[in-house]
Structure 1
Amino acid sequence: MTDSMPLPPGMSVIERGWLNANHVLFRENDNDGAVLIDSGYVTHADTTLALLRQPDALGQRPLARVLNTHCHSDHMGGNARLQREYGAQLWVPEAEAPHIQSWDQAALWLDDAGQQAEPFRVDGLLRPGETLLLGQTEWQLLAAPGHRNEALMFYAPEYRILISGDALWQNGLGAVLPDANLTGLAAAQATLALIAGLDIDWVIPGHGAPFADVPQAIDRAQRKLAQMRADPQFWALSLFKSLLLFNLLERQQMPLDQLPAYLQALPLFRQAGRLLPPMAPTNLAEQVLQPLLAARLIACRGGMLRPLIVA
């Protein structure tokens, strides 16, 4: 996936799925040893460790630091385990630190989204506007609000590479929470405009393979934001589809008849549900479910819902 992408020496990308964010590994770092960006989901920490211990990753070498693009469960879920296993320092975006230190599960989208993570110690702060030396390369830290207002991206002008987190994927971007003033959409749009102004050959997203069709990806993300702005019902249903797919990837199955109650129980449903016209829970479940079935992202067999994509 990265064969044609000119990576800095000692840098590699470990592509995961949609429950676990991709890992970006810097095996050689002049400052203090190997560095990892983003650590995956908490229930897949064993897999994360196994991937890091592969000979073409860390092997038996130590891990000095873990950096997070943002503190959602799929990006920070392995932090505590890596802190225990390696004694690694955990660095998070400065604006995320209060949420982690108080373990504010609502602010971290844990309880509200039906997700989980393990508390960890914050050892360092990442601030927008600063520059980090990772390996032999300088990376600029860029604010990336929208999907997550506290989020950061990592940009290497020398190699024209952007580590975008969930601010930009090849076919969209991370979910944006509905709000009355549309501030989330405006922030996400501003982040896309920032990316469009950078000199970039390759984007390493939080999910999916690295890609080079950057202008086209920005256009696709902008069109999705425009559709959310124009159609609040589409916006809300997009969020519910993302939450359901994520939870199915964790659970691996869910009884079909439990879907209406699952949606109604999510605190984020009560927030985003205000964008929907009144409807019975079973009708809502059908509207969320059918597009996922049609896209072959999930399947329903024997009354059980199961994911069809990689976690």
Structure 2
Amino acid sequence: MDNIQKDIPFGSPVQVGQGVFLLKMPLPFRLDHINLYLIDDQDGWILVDTGLNHRAVRETWEALADSIFQQKPIKKILITHLHPDHIGQAAWLQRRFKADAYISEGDWLMAQRLWFSPAESAIPRYAAHYRAFGVDGERFEQLIENRGNYQRLVKELPLQVKFLRTGDIVSAASGDWRVVSGSGHSPEHLCLWNEASREMITGDHVLPKITPNIGIIVGGLSNPLENYLLSLEDFLAIDCTRYFPAHGLPSENYHERIAEIKMHHHRQLQKLLGGCGEPTTVYEAVGMLFNTELPPHQYMFALGETAAHLRYLESIGLMHRDGEKTWSFKSVSQADQQREETACASSV
């Protein structure tokens, strides 16, 4: 188990822990894979995440359903969060295996709004969202068009779900897994912690090589970076020695990786503080953190993440935000901070 292949083939479960198997599925993006996990439960499997609504993924699942899962089926489907690569095949798998589906209530409610809002009501909301960020011209048109393309990556949701929350226990033949939820990447992202083996299935909440996207999206969290940084403190307190991420290989650098992720966001915040000496829109600030020549799908994430960092700085008093229809951010100088502190002190 310690010598996990770096080139794990798609659609072939590989054991990575005690009673835990990694099932790699393709993604048609620059990030070309997602790791699903199977937890052994004697006469069946508990599946963690499902893959994208995509032809190659469905074909892989159909082949697996007719082979290794024919005699030992999937009994439970646990969805870590609402994003397409995690929830996209959940409805089909639920029908195919007559399995119970589990998700957090926060992510379930947001999934309804995000994936199945009628175009006539959704497009004006997305337009206002991108206008608030100061986006215009060709990039604005690309983002509006991309919204429809992204929505098709889910297509349908399970008909029935059961809710999980922090502290709930998911029992399996291989041991008990306690639900630990984190916020920021999604409203209520579910992770599974096995105290006996000191292993955790982290989904997208903690990733070994890349950082989870923490962005402001339509109808989403108002200050997702604050949520995420706070939840990382809770995760630091867990005595995990090995974690199983949704992207990249299982790793043993759990606490070191969380510290690296926190430092990454600190550096991003410092870049914005140094770059927003004059009023700056989110659209104008993207280039301080990311390559502005990204394709629409990736640019959408970069824009949302830039907004999240600016919003966080505003919430802790290091940025001023003006404007209602279009936001404009400006770093608070030391002189401004001193004036605000003096004004607060004199008003007490």
Give the aligned partner of residue 45 of structure 1: 57
Task: Please tell me whether residue 220 in structure 1 is matched to residue 260 in structure 2.
Answer: yes
Cα offset, 1:228, TM superposition? 2.5
Counterpart residue identity of residue 147, structure 2 = D
Cα offset, 1:216, TM superposition? 2.5
Check the 8 A contact 2:286/2:303 in 1, yes or no: no
1:21 corresponds to which of 26, 34, 37? 34
1:111 corresponds to which of 133, 147, 155? 147
Give the aligned partner of residue 21 of structure 2: 12
RMSD of aligned alpha carbons: 3.7
Cα offset, 1:156, TM superposition? 0.5
Give the aligned partner of residue 186 of structure 1: 226
| Count of residue pairs the alignment pairs up | 251
Counterpart residue identity of residue 192, structure 1 = L
Counterpart residue identity of residue 91, structure 1 = Y
Query: Aligned equivalents of 2:21 and 2:304: distance in 1?
Result: 41
Query: Aligned equivalents of 1:23 and 1:267: distance in 2?
Result: 22
Task: Please tell me whether residue 177 in structure 1 is matched to residue 215 in structure 2.
Answer: yes
Check the 8 A contact 2:271/2:289 in 1, yes or no: no
The percentage of aligned residue pairs carrying the same residue is 21
After superposition, residues 71-150 of structure 1 pair within 5 angstroms as: 71-101=82-112, 103-104=115-116, 111=147, 114-115=150-151, 116-120=153-157, 121-150=159-188
1:31-52 Cα offsets, whole Å, 9 max, x none, are: xx32100001110432441574
TM-score (norm 1): 0.67
Cα offset, 1:199, TM superposition? 1.0
For the structure 1 residues 234 and 271, does the alpha-carbon distance in structure 2 shift closer, same or farther, using more than 3 Å as the test?
A: closer
Check the 8 A contact 1:172/1:217 in 2, yes or no: no
Check the 8 A contact 2:16/2:22 in 1, yes or no: no
Cα offset, 1:22, TM superposition? 1.1
Task: Please tell me whether residue 36 in structure 1 is matched to residue 76 in structure 2.
Answer: no
Query: Aligned equivalents of 1:171 and 1:34: distance in 2?
Result: 28
Query: Aligned equivalents of 1:158 and 1:126: distance in 2?
Result: 21
1:183-222 Cα offsets, whole Å, 9 max, x none, are: 3222221222222211111110111110012233122211
1:10-66 Cα offsets, whole Å, 9 max, x none, are: x21123453553111023257xx32100001110432441574496x5354221221
Query: Aligned equivalents of 1:235 and 1:185: distance in 2?
Result: 19
- Name structure 2 gaps, 5 residues minimum: 5-14, 126-145, 273-284, 311-348
Check the 8 A contact 1:70/1:93 in 2, yes or no: yes
Query: Aligned equivalents of 2:102 and 2:291: distance in 1?
Result: 28
Give the aligned partner of residue 237 of structure 2: 197
Counterpart residue identity of residue 26, structure 1 = I
Mean CA deviation greater in 202-211 or 145-154: 145-154
Cα offset, 1:136, TM superposition? 3.1
Check the 8 A contact 2:286/2:302 in 1, yes or no: no
1:216-266 Cα offsets, whole Å, 9 max, x none, are: 31222112111232234468854978x849x58xxxxxxxxxxxxxx6xx6
**Larger RCO, structure (CA 8 Å, separation 6 or more):** 1
Mean CA deviation greater in 95-104 or 68-77: 95-104
SS in 2 for 1:111: helix
Cα offset, 1:7, TM superposition? 2.0
